Structure 1
Amino acid sequence: MRPPSLLLVALAALALPTLPAQAQTSFGTSCAGASGVTPELSIIGPVQSGQPWTLEVTAPGGLGLGYLLVGFSNTSASALGGVPLPLDLGAFFADPLWGGCELAIDPSYQFLPYTFDPNANGGLWSKNFPGFDTGQLYLQALNIDADFTTRIAGVSQGMLVSSVSQFVPGMVPIAPGTFDMGSNAPSGAPYFGSSVEQPVHSVTISQPFWMGQHEVTQAEYEALMGSNPAFYLGANRPVERVTWFDAVAYCQALTAQESALGNVPAGYEYRLPTEAEWEYACRAGTTTEFNVGDELFCSDARFDATYHPTGNFSSCGNPPGTVDVGSYAPNAWGLFDMQGNVWEWCLDSFASYPAGPVTDPFVTGGSLRVYRGGSWNGTSGNCRSADRDGTGPGFPGFDVGFRVVLAPVLVP
């Protein structure tokens, strides 16, 4: 074989395995205001994907009035206008009566008034929330003092709430499904199809998994492995010049690290995607040669030259090398750079396709390993969803990197 050539899907019904991590995490500090009554937040039961859940606010002995601040974020908490957390309310409002109270809520918060009987049921108020699949909620309660005009009775700790069965930072949940793998594209321009992409056959992915939203960056690789082998340096550029063995070692180290933190579901591991998982995720439901349609232009991905729309070679005019991950639009399932930037190692050995339908195909034991997706150094044809190739697992290409999946355990 030749060496390498020079938005979120709706998954409300997806039943990914439950992560053992907690559904909520408290952050910041609580404080007692003028009357010394500090509310407390708690959640009843686990926050499962798509399932309703209940928040309780307790403040025994308080006035029975207050506000719950609710913010939603797909990234991380921040304060009003980007002020670093926590925000001191006394300094913010220039009012010593608020001194010592801190706000640690997302900037997009909304006020939700609440009332309760301070002398009954421990001063309890509860709120039912609908289920959600991705992102995070930031919650904080402010109990009002007797005059409820200039003073607060207390501020609770902040609370981060995320769905335990869906949310994995930096990764996208992928639902099971069936697709046609391979391509019958002709061998000439503009696609340069190959017999190794045939026969087109039906593949079923039977188990849900998570896939890295982007290729592993140099910063991520160095933080875990203690070195950066890349030639085209940049913390947010994909790591390259990694062998298949290097990529597997990274996945093993990541599995060990996250398992120690209790973040890996039983029967799952961080690993390279199988070739079928990779093409399934790259296509994101499409059946065209590219996941953006029948043509790929220089504005769609990081590669060297396109054969569209005329079928003639047309240079993109890019300088040599990679770009930061996420520099181009993601595919329909929210995955960046599945076409171009760097080739991506897969777990499989390179082998011919079967003729009939298969479920969860995985090939091992061969001398070559698969890589997919094209690179900054290739043409549009290399970036097709079905384009495939393989080389020795010890090959450290300056246009070869990888991304990880959190998926059922496989032994390469």
Structure 2
Amino acid sequence: MALTRRQTLAASLSAAVGAAAGGSVTRAYAQAGGGSGRPKLKLGIISDLAGPYADLNRPTLPCAQQALEDFDVAGRGWDVEILFGQHFDKADNAVTIARQWFDREGVDALLDVNTSATSLAVASVAREKNKALLLSGPGTTELTGRQCSPNHIHWSWDTYMLASSSGSAVVKRGGATWFFVAADYSFGQQLVKDAAGVVEANGGKVLGTTFYPFPTTTDFSSLLLRAQASGAKVLALGNAGADLQNCIKQAREFGLNRSMTIVSLLTYDTDVRMLGLPVAQGLMTTQAYYWDLNDRTRAFNTRVRPKTPEFWPNMANAGIYAQTLHYLKAVADMGVTAAKADGAAAIARMKAIPTDDDCFGPGRIREDGRKLHPAYLMQVKAPGESSGKYDVLKLLATVPPEDAFRPMSAGGCPLVPS
């Protein structure tokens, strides 16, 4: 498929063409055409389209493709291939895929590994193989803390940002007493730990916390009734995807929304659209990106929407776009051959170049690999406030990057001078 400089970069998607650790691999191509000897990049995404977070991940590949198109890789004479593999929420699957891609497929960089456990496992492989690893989907702050690496960058959000932005703002609005319901694995545990610390630091009090087995729980009624009985003003949910949606539905059935402010420590606008405004209205959440924030976010959404018409990009998907675009800028700056040969050098160049894209605006990447940009406290609209299916959130407050993210000195990253 030959593309001129101004043609839309249409990715040729095949059906599953291989298997890695039990997960199918999809390949997308962007070819410049015109003879051999062109610069070539092979990129990979390891995600999941089968588990409770499947719908949140569906725009991932379209957003990466949009970055290729916006950077005009075809017009630059580059050939780029993106592999998409599924880890099914298992760290050993993710590691196996990453090793096979690096060793056998010649993958130069990974554009995401989308959960905390899988990303931490693959980060060690990327460092061992000296490959670039870009991360937007995971939430763990360990990626820029004790397990930071010269080979990876953490882009859109993390548990500290969500907890800091939501916790402090809600306490200041009168939500002084909290009860947490969260998934019992590293993601949910870290969300509760970070949010509880912020609540207490701002003068609030945690009246109770309950964790549930993940991913086997679907009936949250006993947990929600315990939260209601605590007398807390705030019900804080430390989960995502289908679990979050079930919690919110059941909380409304029990009338918790009439006596408590419900705060989701991680809600994507994808979740809100699936729930519907009559169920989700009033829910408070923090976002790093929303399609209707400003002219630039609306322009990006307009461009990418034909590639993913049903599931518009959420903040994690937008991070895939932004970090892929920034990686391509670094590759162009240092040269394709040099970037392919040294993943740590490519990451260092990404840190040295100021970031700017339509999803997050201007920003920068710290020495510990943390990408900095504002966070936005938002609330789900009531049905009467919405102009349509995708108009679901309204902005309450903007949190500056230096307040939203954990101070670099507090993370314990060994890359940061003491």
TM-score range, shorter chain: under 0.3
Query: What TM-score comes out, normalization by structure 2 length?
Result: 0.22
Which is helix-richer, 1 or 2? 2
Query: What TM-score comes out, normalization by structure 1 length?
Result: 0.22
Rg larger in 1 or in 2? 1
